[in-house]
Structure 1
Amino acid sequence: MASPGSALSAEQFQCPICLDVLSDPVSTPCGHNFCGPCIKANWDVSVVCQCPLCKETFFRRPVLKVNTTLREVADHVRSQRDSGHDLTPAQPGEVPCDVCSGDGGRRLRALKSCLDCGTSFCALHLELHQRAPKLQRHTLTEPLQNPEERVCQKHRRPLELFCRDDLTCVCEFCTEGEHKNHNMVPLEEEGKDRKSQLSKTQAELKSMIQERQEKIAEIKHSVELSRLSAEAEAAAVCELFSVLLLALERSRSNLQGALEARQRAVETRAEELTHTLQQEIHTLQSRDAQLEELTHTHDHLHLLQTLQQEIHTLQSRDAQLEELTHTHDHLHLLQVYTSVCVLPPSKSWSLVSVRTYQDVDSLRPLVSRLETLINRDMDDLHEMQLKRVQQFTELSKVQQYAVDVTLDPDTANSFLQLSEDRKQVCCVERRQKLPEAAGRFERAACVLGREGFCSRFYFQVEVSGKTSWDVGVARDSVTRRGKVKASPETGYWTVSLRDGRKLVAKETNPIPLAVGAGLRKVGVSVDYPRGVVSFYDVTNMSHLYSFTGQRFTGKLRPLLSPGQREKGKNSAPLVICVDRPIT
Structure 2
Amino acid sequence: LSLKYMRCVDMAAASCLLTEDQFLCSICLDVFTNPVAMPCGHNFCKTCITKNWDINFPLPVSFQRVDSRGSQQQQLEPQCARSEDISCDICAGTKLKAGKSCLVCLASDCKTHLEPHLTVTGLKKHQLINSVENLQGRICVNHDKPLDLFCKNDQLCVCMLCMVSEHRLHDVVPLKKECEEKKAELGKTEAEIQQMIQRRREKILEITDSVEFSNGNANRERAVGLQVFTALKEFVDRGLAELLHTIKEMQIPIETQATSLITELEREISDLMKRNYLHFLQSFTSLNTPPPTKDWTEVRVHPPTYEGTVVRAVAELEETLRKEMNKVFEEELKRVQHNAVDVTLEPDTANPWLTLPDDGKQVKFGDENKNLSDNPKRFSYYASVLGKQSFTSGRFYYEVQVKGKTKWDLGVVRESINRKGPITINPTAGYWTLSLRTNNEYKALSDPRVHLSLKSKPGKVGVFVDYEGGLVSFYDADAAALIYSFIGCPFTERLYPFFNPCNNDGGRNALPLIIYPFHNIRFTVMQLYIRLRKIPSLKKPHN
Taking structure 2 as the reference length, the TM-score comes to: 0.45
**Larger-Rg structure:** 1
More helix by share: 1
Higher relative contact order (CA 8 A, sep 6+): 2
Taking structure 1 as the reference length, the TM-score comes to: 0.42
